[in-house]
Structure 1
Amino acid sequence: MARQRGARTQLALAYESTYGTAPASGYTLMPFAASDLGAEQPLLDSELLGMGRDPLAPILDAITAGGDLTVPMDAEALGFWLKAAFGAPVTTGTGPYTHTFNSGGWAIPSMAIEVGMPDVPHYAMYAGVKLNELSWRMQRSGLLTGTARLIAQGEDTATSSNAGTPSSLNLVRFGHFQGSITRNGSALGNIVDAEITYSNNLDPVETIRADGKIDGADEGLASLRGRITTRFASTTLLDDAIAGTPCELAFGYTAPGGESFTLTAHAVYLSRPKTPIEGPGGVQVTFDWQGALDTSPARMATAVLVNDKASY
């Protein structure tokens, strides 16, 4: 019997036309660095008395399915996660293509994701998958990855793949050194670290069903928030925080081939931070920030992805 290795695993994704029904075709192989996507069913200890000192057999509890995927921030695969976060984009251009994702949509698409382990063999199909959160961190160096936090309806396993023949993507990966941050359209300097999290705040519909699965995951109020750590060389952000006035922050990357990704938070409110002095080195200040609905444009955020993929 072969032992499964992570390098031999595959992850295939397709959008569903009906929630909870995995399509028979149309899958795409997705790059990923780590996954704990799975289904869990805990045991409940027996509470019954009068049967002696040794416990009776435990009872199975409800099934929960979902988990986190660590994914590269790249010019093509990222579009699948942006669609899962915001809904379908508006696409313009003839190559390169510009895909514009807007926040505020009432419904987000569901996905089917199959995690394949061919050496066992073990193929786990997760249907009714929705993206709860998409987050990443900007810094000076290291590998640039994001985290997709998912909620699934359930898991079905098989010894062969049910994803057909998946298509592949061109991997054009962004790097930390290609990143930039702007405030109101002007470059924001002295940033040491930035964290960005977009959440759909999904509410699982945990109805009573014979199969133990959920009925769905309803979208709650969206949120966009994070944290910025800066070397204290200017009071620009501090002045915004003290005044309580919003500013526009844009977090972006541009690859040498012209591919790019920019997430713009149109109305950002900054918390008022302390300015700690922790030694003889440079003084750093950390701002928590939160996005909100703007007046023009009338939305919280816009994500723009430019690549050679015609549609999502």
Structure 2
Amino acid sequence: MARAQGARAQMALAWESSYGVAPVSGYTKMPFVSSSLGAEQPLLESDLLGYGRDPLAPLKDAVTADGDITVPLDAEAFGFWLKAAFGDPTTTGAGPYTHEFRSGSWSLPSMSVEIGMPEVPRFAMYSGCVLDRLGWRMERSGLLTATAQLVAQGEAVASSSGAGTPAEVTIERFGHFNGEIRREGVALGNVVSAEVSYANNLDRIETIRDDGKIDGADPSIAALTGSIDVRFADSTLVDQAIAGTACELVFEYTRASGERLTFTAHEVYLPVPRISIDGPRGVQASFDWQAAVDGALGRMCTVELVNDVAAY
């Protein structure tokens, strides 16, 4: 009997034309590192009395379908997750193409994601997937990955794939050494690590249905937050925090072959940090920043992805 192994797992993704209805074609094979996406339906203990000490059979509760998918930050496939987070991009160019994603959209696309384990076989199709949160961590070394948190409507399990033959993407990963952080257009020095997290803060529409599923997941007030850990070498960030003013932060990755990912937070506010001395080594300061809408631009952040993909 075959045993399921993560090394043989497959993931395919397609955009839905109707929420919760899995497309019959148009799937793309997605690279991923790990996935906790799944559906669960807990049991409710019987509360009836008068039938002895042993309980009666439990009842099924509502279905919850969600989870995290860890994906690489790459030049092609990451555009799907950016579209899920921000909506359709504005694409310019004629190869390479520049895809510009903007925050603030009231309408987000839904998608169907199939995770297959062919050796069992088990192919789980998660329809009505909407992206709740997307974030990653910048460091000096290691593999660069992002976490996409999804809310799905439900799960349908089959013994064969419903994704057909998905299209392939070219794997062109960004690395930590490709990364740079700029403040007001100038490279920000002494940065040890940083985190970026964009949240749509989805509102699950939990109506009464005979199948226990949700009716949808609507975006509410978005949030763009993160942290910057720096070696304490000057008071630039501390002075900004004390003054309560905003700055522009740019998180960018560039490959030698020309692919680029630029994430711009237009109006970032810094808290006044506690600066502690923990021993004889260097002193570090941590800033848990928050972004807000830029009144002139009318949005909180802009993401540019430059690659050879004509459209998402």
1:287 corresponds to which residue?
A: 287
Distance in 1 between the 2:58 and 2:234 partners?
61
Equivalent in the alignment of 1:40:
40
Q: CA deviation at 1:19?
A: 0.7
Give the whole-Å Cα distance in 2 for the aligned partners of 1:55 and 1:235: 66
Q: Does residue 248 of structure 1 match 2:248? A: yes
CA distance in 1, matches of 2:273, 2:122: 50
Matches within 5 A, 1:169-184: 169-184=169-184
Q: How does 1:21-100 map to 2 (within 5 A)?
A: 21-100=21-100
**Alignment of structure 1 residues 99-248 onto 2, 5 Å:** 99-248=99-248
CA distance in 2, matches of 1:207, 1:298: 33
User: C-alpha separation between the residues in 1 aligned to 2:218 and 2:237?
Assistant: 35
SS state of the match for residue 106, structure 2? Answer: coil
Q: Which runs of 5+ in 2 are unaligned?
A: none
Q: State the secondary structure of the residue aligned to 2:225.
A: strand
Q: Secondary structure of 2:240's partner?
A: helix
SS at match of 1:273: coil
Q: Share of identical aligned residues, percent?
A: 64
User: What secondary structure is seen at the aligned counterpart in 2 of 1:294?
Assistant: coil
Q: TM-score, normalised by structure 2?
A: 0.99
SS at match of 1:68: strand
Normalising by the residue count of structure 1, what TM-score does the alignment of the two structures yield? 0.99
Shift of 1:4: 1.2
Q: For 2:44 and 2:172, locate their aligned partners in 1 and report how far apart those are by CA, in whole Å.
A: 47
How far does residue 59 in structure 1 lie from its aligned partner after superposition? 1.3
Task: Please report how far the alpha carbon of residue 136 of structure 1 lies from its aligned counterpart in structure 2 after TM superposition.
Answer: 0.2
What displacement does 1:55 show?
Answer: 2.2
Count of residues paired in the alignment: 312
Q: Deviations over 1:134-163 (max 9, x none)?
A: 010000011100000000010111111111
1:48 to partner: Cα distance:
2.0
RMSD: 0.7
- Secondary structure at the residue paired with 2:302? strand
Output the CA distance in 1 between the equivalents of 2:205 and 2:256. 44
